[in-house]
Structure 1
Amino acid sequence: MHELRLHQGAAAAGGWIWLFAGTGEGPPLAATLLNRGWRVRVSVVTAAAARAYRQHPNLDLQVGAIGSDAALEQQLQDLRPLWLVDATHPFALQISARLERVCTQREQPWLQLDRRDSSSAQFDPQVQPLQHLADLKMLALSDERLLLAIGARQLPQALAATPQCTHFARVLDQPGSLQAALACGLPDDHIACLRPSASAEGHLEEALCRRWGITRVLCRQGGGRSERLWRQVCQRLQLPLLLLCRPQAATGLPLALLLEKLGHP
């Protein structure tokens, strides 16, 4: 694994929690754990994601993907955390499977955050769930101006399933995401590189929809800040929202129960 340590605090009295997360639930969860007296290592994939975390003397930020079970096992052996917490995106199947597999083998205490929002389970006539991107082929989407907010990795599948649409994409503000969107053939002025609004109110995203004349939005059922944001934007603009369902049933604990389980050091 190629990793970058951005800052590392001095030793503290509390034990270690190793948190795998992104920029949504990760920063407030890390802050809560630090306030309780834990030492926290946070693993994120990109340096841009690391900037969402405030510096703290007991926070260790690690940037880079863990590429193998052996790499994870070695770090667990070195750090010996009291808990490992998986707060990654529900679509991050590979890393979640690795965390569960290695922690089970090592008998490492491990918890997963269930990111589902109670509001996401409520019926909304503007929201149309999709089990797979291929289901887009069966929808009447002729001449739609479709905003793809599903991440760069799944753009090719979404584009292939909706050839009758004019496409626009919101991708994260990192070089790989922009390169992936351009490689799909999207025009420069049909791509916006930005992170979800910190307030989760979506005013920038709403302005983007107005500017592009968007008639329909496709996003993922992440259960976190990004899904809430697009639901709110589509409600305000009265836009249909296509919601790509999470690839597997939600597991783990809601935030309150997870924090109760972790307790204090």
Structure 2
Amino acid sequence: MDIRKKCQPHLWLLTGTGEGHVFAKSLLKEGWKITVSVVSNRASIPYEKLNLEKILIGALISEEEIRSVILNARSHENGFHCVIDLTHPFAMKITGSITKVCKELGQPLIRYERTIENFSNAFLIEKFSDLKNYDLKNKSILLALGVRHLQEALLVARNSGANVYARVLANPESIRKILASSIKKSNFAILNPSVSSDGKIEKALIRKWNIAGVVCRQSGGRNEILWHRICSSMGINLLMLERPTKFKNINSVDSYDKLIKRLKSICLE
């Protein structure tokens, strides 16, 4: 007997990483019904060709919004078998809200956490103010961060005497925030992460600006691996903001196979 027949086959995936689309597609093939949450219309595009129950578009700002989605599903669709948190590793606020609401409602929750890679060429920092502990004076530093952290890192690096440059993603929010920041317009590039394994565009920027070090987040995934490869091959420093560990005790998995096993175990409870 298919174990899904013993439980509600509907999953709610809250996405914010590249794994979201991969997991959704695989779960659909295995017979699960899927509702997906994304933060923007642009983020919904990869999901539009999938046979989903729903695509919920827009950032979930409050606990009440999360609660409303779960209770609405219980009222009209027999509820969610499980909520799967696939949001970004640094999205602490939304993960905290999801965890709290699911606990209050007795709603099963699984968080996907990317494996933390150990790269010998990277320097970990706990907070951006730690940048002042490094010799950045008169050195060109490239910030490859989300725009939420850009201004804070920019000010610390600049106060440490660095010449600061930035790479930001080609989406409306990022463009608005970089234009509103204090960085020179000649010192940033707007692009999406390179799809090539060697990062040709990123390497070109490093050569153009004579970059001595890159600052990024320990967010895992393809983007982090790309920066490791680039910095290692070009002989420049890589400084990474350490991944938050606030939700270390949450019910989490670090692979698709482990997710499936956890879902099946919930069915048997």
Please report the TM-score for the alignment, with normalisation by the length of structure 1.
0.86
**TM-aligned CA deviation for residue 260 of structure 1:** 2.1
Q: Which has the higher helix share?
A: 2
Q: Which runs of 5 or more structure 1 residues have no equivalent in the other structure?
A: 1-13
State the match for 2:166 in structure 1.
169
Output the amino acid matched with 2:259.
L
1:77 to 33, 49, 71: 71
Mapped to 1, the partners of 2:14 and 2:47 lie a distance apart of 13
Structure 1 residues 199, 16: closer, same or farther in 2, change over 3 A?
farther
* 1:217 and 2:218 matched: no
* 1:99 and 2:116 matched: no
Q: Which runs of 5 or more structure 2 residues have no equivalent in the other structure?
A: 1-7, 74-78
State the match for 2:194 in structure 1.
197
State the match for 1:32 in structure 2.
26
Contact 2:17 2:86 in 1 (8 A): no
Contact 2:14 2:36 in 1 (8 A): yes
Q: What CA RMSD, in Å, does the superposition of the two structures yield over aligned residues?
A: 2.1
Mapped to 2, the partners of 1:191 and 1:259 lie a distance apart of 42
**TM-aligned CA deviation for residue 199 of structure 1:** 5.5
More displaced stretch, 56-65 vs 196-205? 196-205
2:122 to 127, 133, 157: 127
State the match for 1:253 in structure 2.
253
**TM-aligned CA deviation for residue 203 of structure 1:** 2.9
**SS class of match (1:173):** coil
- Rg (Cα) greater in structure: 2
Mapped to 2, the partners of 1:211 and 1:115 lie a distance apart of 32
Runs of 4+ in 1 over 6 A off after TM superposition: none
Contact 1:169 1:191 in 2 (8 A): yes
Please report the TM-score for the alignment, with normalisation by the length of structure 2.
0.85
* 1:185 and 2:182 matched: yes
Mapped to 2, the partners of 1:230 and 1:105 lie a distance apart of 40
Mapped to 1, the partners of 2:172 and 2:52 lie a distance apart of 30
Structure 1 residues 193, 46: closer, same or farther in 2, change over 3 A?
farther
State the match for 2:76 in structure 1.
none
Mapped to 1, the partners of 2:115 and 2:177 lie a distance apart of 28
**SS class of match (1:97):** helix
Deviation sequence 1:34-92 (CA, Å, 0-9, x none): 11111212211122222233512235322211121111111101222111001111110
Output the amino acid matched with 2:163.
T
More displaced stretch, 80-89 vs 192-201? 192-201
Mapped to 1, the partners of 2:215 and 2:80 lie a distance apart of 38
Deviation sequence 1:112-161 (CA, Å, 0-9, x none): 011124xx124x1x211101101011211111111101111111111111
Mapped to 1, the partners of 2:129 and 2:72 lie a distance apart of 44
State the match for 2:5 in structure 1.
none
**SS class of match (1:43):** strand
Output the amino acid matched with 2:191.
L
Deviation sequence 1:132-191 (CA, Å, 0-9, x none): 101011211111111101111111111111121111111222222122112222222322
When the two structures are aligned, how many residues end up with a matched partner? 248
**TM-aligned CA deviation for residue 15 of structure 1:** 2.1
Mapped to 2, the partners of 1:134 and 1:32 lie a distance apart of 41
Output the amino acid matched with 2:128.
L
Contact 2:142 2:166 in 1 (8 A): yes
**TM-aligned CA deviation for residue 200 of structure 1:** 5.6
More displaced stretch, 195-204 vs 175-184? 195-204
